[in-house]
Structure 1
């Protein structure tokens, strides 16, 4: 475990390969972040609770408590700190599982440090973007000032990515967006990253919002938000 000074906030790097820890830490510090590190899952959970980082860069293949379980426990504790998975397995099942339990994004080893930093900056922007005011879609209220989503008076906990996707669609009610357009606008990268990512997050929103979810599937095209739902 180590820390270093930085003005953009503290990032926890959870990785058991020292060379990868050093590489990620180097780029984080260059970008102005403080760095905290852990080599296994149990320590990572304790460090998140104690230090409240702005994000967690989390290796999936940790010894003992793996990254999937770390993320699952954070979300079960209602901790929605942005999580960026690092995985050695370029397998859709693994990636989809990570997104389904609440990860915000992922990179696959071997990865470009510049790509990882770009993904991390995008995830953090989702949590601090411009706030034009509350957006109302039927019984769903998306408050972009407080970053809360309410169904009537009941708050629904969303990840930063889920919130960003819902807010983006809600800003343009009735407009149909392709999956590629959503990847570019919300995730900040091109369609080759995999449009399945969009489908998984829409499914997560529907699971959390139930019958009140305002997102409509436009077959063969993409998704749109409906005011009247």
Structure 2
């Protein structure tokens, strides 16, 4: 079955046979799709480059489709440095966590917005990453309240909380349990990144949550944010 042209982005590409590539696409209506992009490594036509808005169509019924057409759909976000590494991180998250063929129109819009923000504010990538991670978790159905605990009691600024996949947030008394300060959780819920606790707490929490769904295989893109790099967001 052949699809009509629809907006898409390249998330990942690797060589396939002589001049082709296996490409993971994030499409507006088809969600995550893996396609054979014939001639991707030849000297002609559109190339499968990340962060470039495309209009694409594909053909096929199985898990691996064949790309039929690809057109550049406009100007693209030019990412460099930490912004580039952050974009690669977002791409890897999507490839690892999305189910093929599951349309995510809101997530597609969130991804576009994240790329634009990374390009506009390359020195301030952490709020973009934390907001996208949270949006991804919520839209995939793994979300939980940041303002109420597991007993549906309000999260309190002066209380410590831990998180579990089964319960969500629950209060703890002993700081040795590695609790998350309620003030930081509330600031994260409000996206109040000016609060000094918001970003560190959001980073700790999102790492815990994502680890459950990513499994034991580490994210390759995290290696780009090795300790000592300027502005290390991961």
- Which category of TM-score, normalised to the shorter sequence, fits these structures? 0.3 to 0.5
Q: Which has the larger radius of gyration?
A: 2
TM-score, scaled to structure 2: 0.32
TM-score, scaled to structure 1: 0.33
Greater percentage in helix: 1
